[in-house]
Structure 1
Amino acid sequence: MDSFLIIPATLIFFSVITPISGSYQYHITPNYNISYLQFVDDHGAFLYSQNRTFMAAICNPGKQQIKFYLCVIHVPSTTIIWLANRDAPMSISGKLLLSSDGITISDENSNKKWSTPSLHSSVSALILTEFGNLVLLDHNNVSLWESFRFPTDTVVVGQLLPVEGSLTSSVSDNDLSRGNYSLSVTSSDVILQWSGSTYWKLSMDPNAQRNSNYVVEYLKIDASGITLFARDGLVVVLQVKLLPSDFRFAKLYPSGHFKVISYSGRDQTEDFVWPRDSCDVPYVCGGIKVCSMEGTSNGPVCSCPSGFNSDHQTNGCVLRDASLSLPFACNSSDDQSLKSSRNISYLGLGVGVGSFLTKFSDPVKYGIELSMCKNLCSKDCSCLGLFYKNSSGLCFLNQHQLGSFMSNVAVGSDFLGYIKMFDAVSATDDTNDTSRSRRQVITLVALIIFPSSLLLVIAGLGFQRWRKWKRSIVGPEKSGHLSSSGESEAFSIPGLPVRYDYEDLRVATGNFSSLIGSGGFGAVYKGTLLDGTVVAVKKITNLGVQGKTEFCTEIAVIGNIHHMNLVKLKGFCAQGSQRLLVYEYMNHGSLDRILFGNGPVLEWQERFNIALGTARALAYLHSCCEHKIIHCDVKPENILLHDFFQPKISDFGLSKLLSPEQSSHFTTMRGTRGYLAPEWLTSSAISEKTDVYSYGMVLLELVSGRKNCSPQRVQQSHSLDGGNNTGNSSSASCRSGSLYFPMYALDMHEQGRYLELADPRLEGRVTSEEVQKLVCIALCCVHEESSFRPTMVSVVGMLEGRIEFDHPRLESLNFLRFYGRRFSEPSIIGNDGQQMSYYRTNASASSTSGSGTVHSYSNPSYVSSQEVSGPR
């Protein structure tokens, strides 16, 4: 945390500073005792920064004379930027004491209300810097404690808010205790939350510029705006630029709005306000009210939803039907969890009423009926309401607290909102019957459990004796356990995902009956856990000595990395000889099935989003993890699609970990034919650029909607000169009727005929410029020399438009023609029409056109897809 400390040198040597005026104190020393009734000056402050920009005071916001706090205040704007005892305010008679142990705030009876934590040295002075940082110093002027390390609801210029750091709003302008709104800095963004539910992200701002995918280290407010930094401030991850200002602070207000305020002279300006629409704030109208911004310029209009009347006494809403009552959120042990669903009903909110939950929260279930969604809410005592999307069967549960709803006619009838209700009469009867039923149940359970427990103990002892007898006959290996020289069954990896029991996964997958994929190391099954979560379970079946190592490597890699475009590993099973991995389930399957199948065609924007998301995931693996991670098997089968075709890369079983300094050599061939970089074949060093090559090949497939190695003939298209495509026909048109698409893409790039590369199923719904951008990036990625290929971070920048995309070096792409000609030879076309191998031993040299360079390849013999490819 030392990197987050900013103390001007001019303030550290406080002993040489002479106060400008006798009424101002610029440092205080231990045994200093003060109360609200003993202020040093008329402003209520007892300590000032050197230029009197900030002051420390025992403040009484709103002059309510009840709650008093230790505050740091920006003097020109009178803004409280930090406070100490926000959850333990003192009375007007409370006291502040500075001792050699730190700062202590106590009430009139000397009972401690708040104090600084234990310090490793004695305090010599308390100062307030020109940034507004309250600092305790030791006798060597070394910082012992700083207020900047414990932010409340405000960040100022010069203060850094680290990742996982947060701000919490106050309850109101006069009550500075913690409210329900919070701001958090994540590894990639800034989010606003209400009672733990997200309702805004910094990246949503139209002026936000994402410059890299590095892991965020801290947020900073400065003259240029709001910035998320990585690599000790050397890399800008996300930024919202603002106009220059003399002073600026960012504050999370009690209303739930996050504002950046600039102050120049006496002028105060709101530079940044989010959410911009007040109805996007979850509790702007209070509970169970509908917020509308239509037809008004004076702020939101709040009204009661259908089925409720306004209560003018409480300014809230009450049910019209007196026979119904609203439930209260409960814990799992609460009596409400025992209520029968026959006492529960649901009141519809009407058409056009939405919620922030449907924007940011994940649905608890996909593709289910409304009745099933209601049933899920009925069984969950913390559920107070739900939203259901008709078109896709998405089910969102509103848990723990009901906030405001949004009047949004754009929602239409697709989203349906409901509030959970109890039958008030039945609920009362249930309450009266609870104690009587409980006594009956306890008596019955006692009569059943005691004899049953005795039988279970006897059965358990008998089972243990049987296991010992079996082991003495068949040995430990055959009884499903590893030998003493093998791996221990009960090994554990602290901090990694959940460890599941094999029997639970067998039941979840219906005895491994629902196969959804297979690969070189095993098969993948769809399963449903006991809590209803749908998962994908990968069962490792070909587990040799290397397989065990690969298995542990995959857990170690995936379990410690988190990115929105990487498949999440939920857990694993290592029981006896069984090795299984439990992943989140991707409901749209793999990219190859969508892209190359006969279903609905992927639109261009969906393809672009898949390309961008995949690039971001690879950039994260290469540049943002503690160790560089090379995937080694980037292909459409390993790109899975979730809701709205969000891409997520899977299968890290073939990956290797490299330290930032290493450029390692792999001793065995990894990957899948058609996506293998040339360095695999020439005994060159393998680096993250091998993934870049594979990504380029995938990008070409996204453009064309077909496999790069495909037995399809290129359709003759009209040339730029009117369609007379005769003597200069593409060299990629093979006499065997097959096509190596990368070579054809190179030909069309040289002729500027990009639309001929686009998937014909798009039927003109893409421009030449859009295709050109992706084709140029793809060809740059497949340069023969790895040093010419861009990094994945640069690829992301080119896709996002922050970096101008490069034009490929033709001299480094002529090897594609060699591959293409080899691909077109009938002798190397298999029965399935696919290229059996253009990686043959001692492949003949190819003199490249244009450069005169000779490429020689010492290629390994043909290897099968099972030997080359990793698990799917």
Structure 2
Amino acid sequence: MRTSFLFSTSFIFYALVSGSLFSEFISPNFTASYHRFIDNKGAFLFSRNGTFKVAVFNPGGKTNFYLCVIHVASGTIIWSANRDAPISSSCKMELTVQGISIAGQDANLKWATPPLRSSVHALLLTEMGNLVLLDRFNGSLWESFHYPTDTIVIGQHLPEGAILSSAVSDDDLSTGDYQLAITDSDAILQWQGQAYWKLSMDIRAYKNSNYIVEYMAINRTGLFLFGHSGSAVVIQISLSPSDFRTAQLGASGRFMIRRFSGSDREQEFLGPINDCQIPLICGKIGLCMDNKSNRTTCSCPQGFHRVSQNSSGCMPNGRSLPRACDSTSQLNPSALSYSRLGYDMDYFSIDFSEPVRYGVNLSVCQEFCTSDCSCLGIFYANSSGSCYALENDLGSIISSAADDDDDLWGYIKVIVGAASDINNTYSDQTQQFPVIALVLLPFTGLLLMVALGFLWWRRWKASNREIKLGHASSLSSGDLDAFHIPGLPQRFDYEGIEVATDNFKTQIGSGGFGAVYKGTMPDKSVVAVKKITNLGVQGKKDFCTEIAVIGSIHHVNLVKLRGFCAQGRHRLLVYEYMNRGSLDKALFDSGLVLEWQERFEIALGTARGLAYLHTGCEQKIIHCDVKPENILLHDQFQAKISDFGLSKLLSPEQSCLFTTMRGTRGYLAPEWLTNSAISEKTDIYSFGMVLLEIVSGRKNCSTRSQCHSVDNRNSGGGHSTSSSRSGVVYFPLLALEMHEQGRYMELADPRLEGRVSSEEVEKLVRIALCCVHEEPSLRPNMVSIVGMLEGCIPLGQPKVGSLNFLRFYGRRFAEASMIEQENGQSDFTLFPQANDSTTSTTSDSRICLSYISSQQISGPR
């Protein structure tokens, strides 16, 4: 959620206490420390009504200090900046035009905000508890709400793919072992990557599986997982009305919701309720027993003993435990065995995981665990032959009285013959290194070196054989043959795709790297297959980019990548089939008229997809080629964005934005010509141009023969200066002129014949003009655009001063068209480039304006 905040600079230095305590805003070149504001317990910034404060604070009065946002009435910390880099009381927080930084002793940097797109003008603490850095236009540069720690509050969204991480304790805010992850269907608690609770399990949860989860939020009436841009509830926990509540992942591993009234707090929700379901409730391999009286007791399984009187967790008698996959865990299988846990045992993650083997006997299950260094134990279901692995770390064991748990047998991997724990991470006492290890470890190391040498020799020999066969030129291609992306649905072989496409019989599109064909898979599902024929070095790079990008993200408004083929020299991408084709065909085909509501839903869906790419992914994704050809339509004209061949991934910490990419002219932002940094605001410019075409139902750059009559739509016989007199229309300029005159209905596609109101057209036109501001910083972000389309954020006001470049575009477009008509030229371009290889079938597309005449690389999918 990115918002613009209005403020008056005359109140930035409004002092509350002796000129040293600020209200709501502070300006750059400001320094704070606990000592400087010790009379206010480190607080130096308050929200407007004093609900929240920002302070350099030490929880529990300890020696570790953190920059925190705190709920004043209850003293609850809702966010901390340097949670993993605490400072002392004398260390400083500085606000500069580059952002916030926290320095420790000797001025070494402990924490800082990521690089920002423009200079900081002010720091604001909102009444919701959101700490925001503002630019000089009052636009958001950075928000604490986008970097949650262990807590969210009313007004904050936790998007799908985001997590909350517990603190170590109430006094130690460092990142703990527990996480709350938001998936596309649920909210899941995890420990060491293993799930142990889901929100949908709660008996109070209302569930609707018809939508995909987009974000979690709390409000006055409860906890919600929302889909369909907030209009659909996927999971709901109803609670009593409250003006302030928090949802927190506690240090104990429980997810809690609390409501506050003054300094009083009430716990409204807790998950999981059962103590024994918490992974480390009794320590590693500790036995948790729920005696049905809300009291949990901890002990050790039979054959195990407590590590020490002062610590939880258990150890096998006369055995030691291996660690997961480190240098000391590569033991000879003969040195490993299994200690049985006994009857009526269960493990917290089994109900949330799939077996690693099905229909096998116990010995096969154990052999699997022995060969996998990450496996530290197994649970084996005797009746079904299902084998469950306990991986990476061991949690508590659950004592279960359920009748069917006699079928579930638990075993812990142990090292045989060691009287002490060679790799024991639980004991604080120094252990004597066993004599047998002095013999086994060197011998095992020698065998390992011999085995590695043999494998290397085999691989070298195979590589030489490939070269002799004349395949040296396809080495990078061979590397791709082994290319694998975890989580990618499927890797197809070329012969199977040939069968599915009937030997590539039906072509449904083409692009810069090849053609797109329709196919039918063996499961009868219809797919679109992109066959890359012009590979080259750049093609291989973009092929890997597409797989890495599309294979790792999932959103209802993004085309789904089903799989890929990298076999020999063949490179193919297999997508879900979009049965209504691309937006350009739906908009510009005279035989089809999209109704206004369909156009609006397409615009909204496209905006949601771009918002997800820009802010919803772990890494920011800039599409760089937003145009109608790359917006595909499914049933009910659901819009999905395609073609990520030109996208770039940016981590939040990256400070240098790229400037070397190319998209499609007519949709390229002005910053391409000036060699300015290219950011997500470039996509927003392109989206604005697409939005104008959605309104008019025709290309923005078109001759009068390709567009609808402008003069007939000019009321009162007035004349536009948008080049209509020269026989051509540059629609963005016409949109600006009609906006200035308030004549929005004259911009709507006349084929709609009055089936749209002036207010509906005005909404899209104003948003579009805001998107195409010449200065990128004036363009709204995609999250704000979605909010404006949905009506929850006021419409932006286009700034005419930043749109005057459209008048230059309009004049040059008219001049180019007149020269073409007079001279009979068919390939005139305003800004010709030697490397311009763009081709088109109509003259208007060749003179369609852009600051640069770029190479059209990706093309429609």
TM-score interval (norm. to shorter): 0.5 to 0.7
Aligned to 2:391: 399
Partners of 2:206 and 2:454 in 1: CA distance: 68
Aligned to 2:488: 497
SS at match of 2:155: coil
SS at match of 2:412: strand
Q: 1:448 to 1:92 in 2, by over 3 A?
A: closer
SS at match of 1:38: coil
SS at match of 2:100: strand
Q: Does 1:435 align with 2:395?
A: no
SS at match of 1:47: strand
- Write out aligned runs for 1:287-686 (5 A): 287-297=284-294, 299-319=295-315, 321-322=317-318, 324-331=319-326, 334-337=327-330, 339-410=331-402, 411-425=404-418, 428=434, 429-436=436-443, 438-439=445-446, 442=449, 459-460=465-466, 463-464=469-470, 497=488, 543=503, 545-546=505-506, 549-550=518-519, 554=527, 573=565, 575=567, 658-659=633-634, 662=637
Tell me if structure 2 keeps the 8 A contact 1:539–1:580: no
Tell me if structure 1 keeps the 8 A contact 2:492–2:563: no
| Superposition deviation, residue 540 in structure 1 | 5.5
Partners of 1:447 and 1:228 in 2: CA distance: 54
Tell me if structure 2 keeps the 8 A contact 1:540–1:579: no
Partners of 2:563 and 2:124 in 1: CA distance: 50
State which of 136, 139, 148 in structure 2 corresponds to 1:142.
139
Partners of 1:316 and 1:289 in 2: CA distance: 7
TM, length-normalised to structure 1: 0.55
- Write out aligned runs for 1:796-835 (5 A): none
| Superposition deviation, residue 195 in structure 1 | 1.1
Aligned to 1:50: 48
- Write out aligned runs for 1:186-335 (5 A): 186-211=183-208, 213-297=210-294, 299-319=295-315, 321-322=317-318, 324-331=319-326, 334-335=327-328
Partners of 2:144 and 2:161 in 1: CA distance: 17
Aligned to 1:815: none
| Superposition deviation, residue 350 in structure 1 | 1.1
| Superposition deviation, residue 459 in structure 1 | 4.8
Partners of 1:549 and 1:283 in 2: CA distance: 52
Aligned to 1:112: 109
Partners of 1:626 and 1:394 in 2: CA distance: 44
Partners of 1:382 and 1:97 in 2: CA distance: 44
Q: 1:320 to 1:573 in 2, by over 3 A?
A: closer
Partners of 1:161 and 1:357 in 2: CA distance: 24
Aligned to 1:673: none
Deviates more, 1:93-102 or 1:79-88: 93-102
Q: 1:421 to 1:52 in 2, by over 3 A?
A: same
State which of 97, 100, 105 in structure 1 corresponds to 2:97.
100
Tell me if structure 2 keeps the 8 A contact 1:498–1:572: no
Deviations 1:570-602 (Å, cap 9, x if unpaired)? 85656479999999xxxxxxxxxxxxxxxxxxx
Q: Does 1:59 align with 2:78?
A: no
| Superposition deviation, residue 205 in structure 1 | 1.5
Larger radius of gyration: 1
Q: 1:12 to 1:330 in 2, by over 3 A?
A: farther
| Superposition deviation, residue 150 in structure 1 | 0.6
Q: 1:83 to 1:545 in 2, by over 3 A?
A: same
Partners of 1:663 and 1:107 in 2: CA distance: 52
SS at match of 2:367: helix
| Superposition deviation, residue 272 in structure 1 | 0.8
Q: Tell which has more relative contact order, 1 or 2 (C-alpha 8 A, sep 6+).
A: 2
Q: 1:69 to 1:373 in 2, by over 3 A?
A: same
SS at match of 2:324: coil
Q: 1:14 to 1:256 in 2, by over 3 A?
A: farther
Partners of 2:484 and 2:315 in 1: CA distance: 52
| Superposition deviation, residue 20 in structure 1 | 5.7
Tell me if structure 2 keeps the 8 A contact 1:346–1:419: yes
Q: 1:447 to 1:64 in 2, by over 3 A?
A: closer
Partners of 2:564 and 2:212 in 1: CA distance: 26
SS at match of 1:36: coil
Partners of 1:491 and 1:443 in 2: CA distance: 25
Q: 1:8 to 1:123 in 2, by over 3 A?
A: closer
| Superposition deviation, residue 316 in structure 1 | 3.1
Tell me if structure 1 keeps the 8 A contact 2:285–2:314: no
| Superposition deviation, residue 462 in structure 1 | 5.0
Deviations 1:463-503 (Å, cap 9, x if unpaired)? 449x99xxxxxxxxxxxxxxxxxxxx999999993775969
Q: 1:582 to 1:399 in 2, by over 3 A?
A: farther
Tell me if structure 1 keeps the 8 A contact 2:336–2:415: yes
Partners of 1:303 and 1:365 in 2: CA distance: 30
Structure 2 stretches lacking a partner, 5+ long: 423-433, 474-479, 508-516, 531-549, 576-601, 608-630, 640-861
Tell me if structure 1 keeps the 8 A contact 2:285–2:315: no
- Write out aligned runs for 1:694-773 (5 A): none
| Superposition deviation, residue 50 in structure 1 | 1.5
Report the AA paired with residue 215 of structure 1: I
| Superposition deviation, residue 120 in structure 1 | 2.2
State which of 149, 155, 165 in structure 2 corresponds to 1:152.
149
Tell me if structure 1 keeps the 8 A contact 2:307–2:315: no
Aligned to 2:824: none
Tell me if structure 1 keeps the 8 A contact 2:257–2:270: yes
Report the AA paired with residue 71 of structure 1: C
Aligned to 1:180: 177
SS at match of 2:229: coil
| Superposition deviation, residue 406 in structure 1 | 1.1
Deviations 1:817-871 (Å, cap 9, x if unpaired)? xxxxxxxxxxxxxxxxxxxxxxxxxxxxxxxxxxxxxxxxxxxxxxxxxxxxxxx
Partners of 2:121 and 2:501 in 1: CA distance: 66
Deviations 1:11-35 (Å, cap 9, x if unpaired)? 5767389556657421222222222
| Superposition deviation, residue 303 in structure 1 | 1.0
| Superposition deviation, residue 224 in structure 1 | 1.3
How many residue pairs align between the two structures? Answer: 533
Q: 1:263 to 1:453 in 2, by over 3 A?
A: closer
Structure 1 stretches lacking a partner, 5+ long: 469-488, 506-520, 523-537, 584-621, 628-655, 665-872
Report the AA paired with residue 373 of structure 1: C
Report the AA paired with residue 325 of structure 1: S
| Superposition deviation, residue 60 in structure 1 | 0.6
Q: 1:386 to 1:436 in 2, by over 3 A?
A: closer
Q: 1:454 to 1:213 in 2, by over 3 A?
A: closer
Report the AA paired with residue 173 of structure 1: D
SS at match of 1:375: helix
| Superposition deviation, residue 263 in structure 1 | 0.8
Partners of 1:561 and 1:115 in 2: CA distance: 28
